[in-house]
Amino acid sequence: MSGGVDSSVTAKLLAEKDYDLSAIFMRNWDTRDESGTDVGCEWEKDWEDVQRVCQKLDIPCQMIDLSKEYWLRVFEPAVETWESGNTPNPDVWCNGEIKFGALFDHLPQGTQFLATGHYARKAYHPSNHRPKLMRASDQTKDQTYYLSSIPESSLDMALFPLADVSKTQVREIARAGRLHNASREESMGLCFIGERRRFNDFLGDYVAPRPGPILAIDTNVELGQHNGLWTYTIGQGSGLPGLTRKLFVAAKDHEKNAIYVALADHPALSTASLTSNDFRWIWRDEPPSAAFSRDGFRASVQVRHRMPPVPVRVRQRWTSNTVHITFDEPHKAVAQGQIAVLYDGDHCLGCGTINETKNLAQV
Catalytic residues: 94, 191
Angstrom distance (rounded) from CA 55 to CA 49: 10
Q: Which residues, including other chains, have CB under 8 Å from residue 57's CB and lie 6 or more apart?
A: 11, 12, 15
Q: What is the DSSP letter of 50?
A: H
Contact present, 245 and 323 (Cβ < 8 Å): no
Q: What separation, in Å, do the N-terminal and C-terminal C-alpha atoms of the chain show? A: 47
Contact present, 61 and 25 (Cβ < 8 Å): yes
Burial 74-93 (b: 16+ CB within 10 A, else e): bbeebbebbbbbbbbbbbbb
Contact present, 75 and 323 (Cβ < 8 Å): no
Angstrom distance (rounded) from CA 256 to CA 200: 22
Angstrom distance (rounded) from CA 227 to CA 250: 17
Which stretches within 226-358 are classed as H helix? Answer: none
Contact present, 158 and 150 (Cβ < 8 Å): yes
Angstrom distance (rounded) from CA 146 to CA 338: 12
